[in-house]
Amino acid sequence: MDQEEIKQEIRRMARERNALLLAHNYQRDEVQEIADITGDSLALSMEAARTDREVIVFCGVHFMAESASILAPDKIVLLPRLDAGCPMADMVTPEGLRRMKAEHPGATVVTYVNSSADVKAESDICCTSSNAVNVVRSVKTEEVILVPDRNLGKYIAAHTDKTCHLWEGYCPTHDRLLVSDVRRAQKEHPDALFMAHPECPPEILEMADHICSTSGMYDYARKSPAKKFIVGTEAGILYRLRRENPDKEFFLPTSRLICPNMKLTSLEDILKSLQTMSPEITVPADIREKAKVTLDRMLAVPRDAG
Q: Is 64 domain-assigned?
A: yes
Q: Is 68 domain-assigned?
A: yes
Q: Is 276 domain-assigned?
A: yes
Name the nearest CA neighbour of 7 among 259, 271, 212. 271
Rounded (5°) CA angle 283-21-55: 50
Q: Is 294 domain-assigned?
A: yes
Whether residues 278 and 292 fall in one domain: no
Q: Is 305 domain-assigned?
A: no
pTM: 0.95
Whether residues 150 and 26 fall in one domain: no
Q: Is 52 exposed, middle or buried (0-12, 13-18, 19+ CB in 10 A)?
A: exposed
User: Residue 69: what residue type?
Assistant: S
Enclosing domain of residue 245:
177-251
Give the pLDDT confidence of 139-184 residue by residue, as tens digits.
999 999 999 999 999 999 999 999 999 999 999 999 999 999 999 9
Greatest C-alpha distance within the chain = 59
Q: Is 59 domain-assigned?
A: yes
Strands 108-112 and 76-78: unpaired
d(CA 210, CA 230): 11
Cβ atoms within 10 Å, residue 239: 20
The number of distinct structural domains making up the chain is 3
d(CA 58, CA 263): 13
Give the pLDDT confidence of 102-126 residue by residue, as tens digits.
999 999 999 999 999 999 999 999 9
d(CA 53, CA 47): 10
pLDDT over 80 (residue 194): yes
Whether residues 145 and 186 fall in one domain: no
Residue 223 maps to which CATH number?
3.40.50.10800
Q: Is 256 domain-assigned?
A: no
Q: For the chain, what percentages of helix, strand and coil (3-state, to nearest 5) are there? A: 45, 15, 40
d(CA 179, CA 192): 16
pLDDT over 80 (residue 190): yes
Average per-residue pLDDT for the chain: 96
Helix (H, G, I), strand (E, B) or coil at 266: coil
